[in-house]
Structure 1
Amino acid sequence: MSGAGRTTAANVLEDHGWYVVDNLPPQMLLPMIQLASRSRGAVTRLAAVVDVRARNFFDEFHSALETLRAKGWHATVVFMEATDEALVRRFESVRRPHPLQGDGRMLDGILREREMLGDLRSEADVLIDTSGLNVHQLAAKVDEILGTSAGPRLRIAVMSFGFKYGIPLDADLVFDMRFLPNPFWIPELRPFTGQDQAVSDFVLAQEGALDFLERVVSLCEPMLAGYQREGRRYVTIAVGCTGGKHRSVAMAEALAPRLAGPDVGTIVVHRDLGRE
């Protein structure tokens, strides 16, 4: 149903690596699958949002599904709906008309759509009623029902940077490593970076370094759990030092694996490494 949360569901699938096509005419389902099958593994999961915006094309949805089955493809049909009251409230909140409203009332369009989709609803493999769900709850429900959470539910970018080049604009959390002695002032370490073992060993051996790592992980644990409950998918944790070459790089490399887990994937980005 229009307004029942198709966009939210599509976004969840896309965040988990699905190839999502919005407002696809049913007749294009088979060509789309055939294209995906020739992608040499680039597209392994395909989702199509099909709805009454396709107008006259939508009448062919059942025959399109039968064609897929005859060709050996299995499609799971997920039908999303909500009560009339919930749909009216949502359309009014965004100040948009219902796609089938025409010159009538919004409720007329909703009732017309229900009539059009009645058979499809009765044959759907999965039915999701979104009436009492906010966007975060709906995202979690789609995760649960469609099994999209096979990969990490949250991705963290641990980014090293140099304060002299500015704080990253996309940072959600910023930590300052300038409380540690700077390897720059040690001649034998100056040419190397925090990715080199000698520099990493020096940084992590300093008083407070390991304690800092443990405390950051403890601080982040409830935050990351909350991010997942709220449906947030990406977080950037920035770790800075003066030039972004030694201390911040070593700390970012040490922090990322400590934050990783079954539902949390991490990558390390060194924004300013090599700028000197």
Structure 2
Amino acid sequence: MKLEIVLITGMSGSGKSVALHALEDAGYYCVDNLPPELLLNFVKLEQTQGAKKVAIAMDVRSATALPLVPQHLETLRKQGVHIKSLFLDSATDTLVRRYSETRRKHPLSRSERTDQQHALVEAIELERELLADLREKAHVLDTSFIRASQLQGYIKSLIAAPEAQLTLVFESFAFKRGIPVDADFVFDVRMLPNPHYEPDLRPLTGRDDAVAAFLRQSPDVAQMFNDIEKFLTHWLEPLARDHRSYVTVGIGCTGGQHRSVYLVEQLAATFSKRWVTLKRHRELDARGDLPPISGGATVF
């Protein structure tokens, strides 16, 4: 069995520690904040010890050496090491709120300015610039509006997906809570008939038969499905040839409960016949009693 490595990078405060805990629960040997200069030697050591599953987190504290990472990953792939690279991201205002809640200092924040929030925003934007190359080459997960339990579930589903050239992720969401920053394509379905205005359907979701039956009656819903299916069918093959590992398709409606959920379910069922396909329902998955990811120690 080849060595499997999951590399976790991303914005400070986006949930890397939560992701590592999920991987540890899944049987991975986890290392936090490994300096990029040590990556090749560390992997060699793990191979000599017979390791099979390793998870490594790197962040902006190793900023000067981060440009080494893509080259090192390519070297490891040529050696037969299977690598999944995940980048955790969050909206700037979410990161500012998390830092404000815990009063922790951003790793790039060295300013003594009295306007601490402005200094924090500057540090976050600098971090985005420094991590841009890693983000470009990884599968991005937006943690802006999700709970720790959701992130753990997403991580486990991604690592459980069979090795393939491309994994397709369909994600429903509510526009009123913002567009997922991890989406490669976004489709707006708010113009479709809304089950919310049907009293019997309002408490249900797009996964319920009654809502599905209501939406199937609409020619516009069928046309939207066909248009999205046609677009993706045309472009997924070129994306796979371009060596994309993941493609995330966001389907958004007003509340993220009915129309977007229904279309995600239908599209996932259709495309699973050709591609490795995962589903996420951001607003539905967020329901529950567990707290959202916050700026506490578990997210750094």
Alignment TM-score, normalising by the size of structure 2? 0.46
- 1:19-168 maps to which residues of 2 (within 5 A)? 19-40=29-50, 43-103=51-111, 105-124=119-138, 126-147=139-160
Aligned to 2:218: none
Provide the C-alpha distance between the structure 1 equivalents of 2:142 and 2:136, rounded to a whole number of angstroms.
Answer: 14
Q: 1:99 Cα deviation (Å)?
A: 0.8
Cα distance in 2, alignment partners of residues 58 and 116 from structure 1? 8
Deviation at 1:230, TM superposition (A): 7.5
- Judged with a 3 Å threshold, the aligned counterparts in structure 2 of structure 1 residues 230 and 10 are, in CA distance, closer, same or farther, namely farther
Partner AA of 1:25 in structure 2: P
Take 2:80 and 2:150, find their aligned partners in 1: how far apart are those partners?
34
Q: Over alpha carbons, which structure has the higher Rg? A: 1
Larger RCO: 1 or 2 (CA < 8 Å, sep 6+): 2
How many residues of Structure 1 are paired with residues of Structure 2 in the alignment?
Answer: 148
Structure 2 residue runs without a partner (length 5+): 1-10, 114-118, 162-287, 291-300
Q: Is contact 2:26-2:156 (8 Å) kept? A: no
1:234-245 to structure 2, matched below 5 A, reads: none
Distance 2:53 2:49 in 1: 11
Per the normalisation by structure 1, the TM-score is 0.50
Aligned partners of 1:116 and 1:55: how far apart in 2?
7
Question: In the alignment, does 2:19 pair up with 1:9?
Answer: yes
- AA aligned opposite 1:45: K
What is the identity percentage for the equivalent residue pairs of Structure 1 and Structure 2?
36
The whole-number CA distance in structure 2 between the counterparts of 1:230 and 1:64 is: 41
- 1:203-229 deviations in Å (ceiling 9; x for gaps): xxxxxxxxxxxxxxxxxxxxxxxxxx8
1:51-91 deviation line (CA, Å, top 9, x unaligned): 11113222322222222233332321101000001111111
Contact 1:19 1:45 in 2 (8 A): yes
Q: Is the 8 A contact 1:5 1:80 kept in 2?
A: yes
Rounded Cα–Cα distance in structure 2 between residues aligned with 1:230 and 1:73: 39
Cα distance in 2, alignment partners of residues 111 and 147 from structure 1: 33
